[in-house]
Amino acid sequence: MPPSAFQFKARSILPVSAALPLLLAGCARHAPAVWQGYLEGEFVYVASPLSGQLETLTVAKGARVETRAPLFSLEHAAETAAQRQAAEQLASAQARVADLRKGLRPTEIKALEARLDQARATAQLAQLDLKRQEALFHDHAISASEFDRARLTHEANRRAVEEIAAQLGTARLGGRADVVAAAESDVRAAADALARADWSVAQKAQSAPCAALVYDTLYRQGEFVAAGSPVVALLPPANLKVRFFVGEGDYGRLAAGARVSVSLSGRDAPIGARVSYLSPQPEYTPPVLYNRDNRAKLVYMIEAVFDPADARDLHPGQPADVSIPAG
C-alpha cells in the first residue's frame, strides 16, 4: 500500500477513536442516577407500665390489627382488689360528708322540738306565777323570799327555752364548717385513689394504638413480664420508609418533600415516595454498597416515606433502587 494511502486511513481513524471516550462520558453524565438503599421500619413496641404474668395474648405474629384491637392482658387480681377497696372508701367518705351536711336525724330533731315546746310551756306557767306572786308581794301577803323564788324560777325556765332553741338550730345546721371541709378533703383523696386504681387495672390490658401489622410477639402466655417490657411489636404502614445513600454530587438534587421512585425486586412498577429526611453529615459508603464507582467516597443518608396504602405489603430489609421520576 502506498504510504499516502496508509497515512490517509490513519488520519481518518484517529479522530473517531479519540472522540469515543468523550461520547461515552457524555452519555454517563446524562444517564439517570439510581441510588441503592433498603427498606426500614420504625416499630411500635406495646408494653404495660406494670409487671405481671401474661394472662392472654390475643394476636399472633403476622396478623393485622385495627385501632384499639386488644393485644394482651396481664393478671390483675391485686389491682382489681385495690380498685374495689378504693371505690368503697370513696363511697364511705361521700356518705360521711352527706351526713355532716344533714345534721341530726329527723327523729332527733323532733325530740328537740318536743323539748322546746315543753320548756316554753313551763316558762309560760312560771311567768304567770311570777305575776301573781308579784301582786301578793305588793299587798304584803307573801314574803320577799317567796317572791324572789318565783322570779328566779321564771328566769331559769326562760333560759332553758333559749338553750333548747339553740340546740335545735345547731342540730339543723349539720357539722361545723371545718369538719365538713376535712370530710370533703377525704372525699377528694378517695376519688384520687380510685382513679389511680382504675388506671392500674386499665394498664394491665393493652390495645393497638393504630392499625398495624403484628411484626413480632416477644412473650408467651404464662410468662412473667417485667414493667415496661414490650410484649408486642407493631409495624404501622406509615412507619415504613426507604433509606438510601447518595454521593456529594447528587445530594443537591434532592430536598425535603421531593418525590422519588422506588424499585423493588418482584414488583413490576416502582412505588412513589416522598423525601422526609436528609442527613446533614456525610458518612463513609456502607460496605453493602461498595462498587467500583462509589468505593472510598463519602455519601449522605436520605430517608423517604411511602403513602400508607402503598406501604401495606412492604417489608423491612428489602433492597431498593431509588431514582428521581422522569418528568
Q: CA–CA separation, 164 vs 314, rounded Å?
A: 86
Give the residue-averaged pLDDT of 166-192. Answer: 85
Q: Is residue 282 assigned to a domain?
A: yes
Q: Are residues 165 and 176 in the same domain?
A: yes
Give the residue-averaged pLDDT of 123-131. Answer: 89
Nearest by Cα to 154 from 123, 116, 118: 123
The residue whose grid cell reads 402466655 is 221
The pTM score is 0.67
pLDDT of residue 292: 55
Does residue 277 surpass a pLDDT of 60?
A: yes
Q: Is residue 27 assigned to a domain?
A: no
Does residue 322 surpass a pLDDT of 90?
A: yes
Cβ atoms within 10 A of the Cβ of 245, count? Answer: 26
Which one of 235, 253, 286 terminates a domain?
Answer: 235
Q: How far from 157 is each of 117, 130, 131, 223, 267, CA to CA, in Å?
A: 12, 12, 15, 80, 107
Q: Are residues 147 and 220 in the same domain?
A: no
Q: CA–CA separation, 288 vs 17, rounded Å?
A: 36
The domain that holds 154 is classified in CATH as 1.10.287.470
Q: Are residues 230 and 135 in the same domain?
A: no
Q: Are residues 247 and 156 in the same domain?
A: no
Q: Are residues 105 and 165 in the same domain?
A: yes
Does residue 85 surpass a pLDDT of 90?
A: yes
Does residue 4 surpass a pLDDT of 50?
A: no
Q: Are residues 90 and 166 in the same domain?
A: yes
Q: Is residue 131 assigned to a domain?
A: yes
The domain that holds 319 is classified in CATH as 2.40.30.170
Task: Decide if 191 contacts 19 (C-beta within 8 A).
Answer: no
Q: Are residues 231 and 242 in the same domain?
A: no
Q: Is residue 102 assigned to a domain?
A: yes
Residue 9 binned pLDDT confidence (cut-offs 50, 70, 90): very low
For the four alpha carbons of 16, 21, 22 and 26, in that order, the dihedral sign comes to positive
Residue 281 binned pLDDT confidence (cut-offs 50, 70, 90): confident
Strands 64-65, 271-278: pairing kind: unpaired
Q: Which of 31-35, 78-82, 253-257, 288-292 has the lowest mean pLDDT?
A: 288-292
Which one of 150, 172, 199 terminates a domain?
Answer: 199
Q: Are residues 230 and 304 in the same domain?
A: no
Q: Is residue 20 assigned to a domain?
A: no
Q: Are residues 186 and 267 in the same domain?
A: no
Show the 3-state SS of the chain: CCHHHHHHHHHHHHHHHHHHHHHHHHHHHHCCCEEEEEEEECCEEEECCCCEEEEEECCCCCCEECCCCEEEEECCHHHHHHHHHHHHHHHHHHHHHHHHHHCCCHHHHHHHHHHHHHHHHHHHHHHHHHHHHHHHHHCCCCCHHHHHHHHHHHHHHHHHHHHHHHHHHHHHHCCCHHHHHHHHHHHHHHHHHHHHHHHHHHHCEEECCCCEEEEEECCCCCCEECCCCEEEEEECHHHEEEEEEEEHHHHCCCCCCCEEEEEECCCCCCEEEEEEEECCCCEECCHHHCCCCCCCCEEEEEEEEECHHHHCCCCCCCEEEEECCCC
Which range of residues forms the domain containing residue 181?
Answer: 82-199
The domain that holds 62 is classified in CATH as 2.40.50.100
Q: Is residue 91 assigned to a domain?
A: yes
Q: Are residues 277 and 174 in the same domain?
A: no
Q: Is residue 304 assigned to a domain?
A: yes
Q: Is residue 5 assigned to a domain?
A: no
Q: Are residues 252 and 171 in the same domain?
A: no
Does residue 321 surpass a pLDDT of 90?
A: yes
Which one of 199, 226, 258 terminates a domain?
Answer: 199
Q: Which three cell numbers stand for residue 145?
A: 323570799
Q: CA–CA separation, 186 vs 89, rounded Å?
A: 9
Q: Are residues 93 and 49 in the same domain?
A: no
Nearest by Cα to 282 from 267, 265, 296, 268: 296
Q: What is the pLDDT of residues 230-276, one digit of tens each?
A: 999 999 999 999 999 998 888 989 999 999 999 999 888 999 999 99
Structurally, the chain folds into a number of domains equal to 3
pLDDT of residue 43: 97
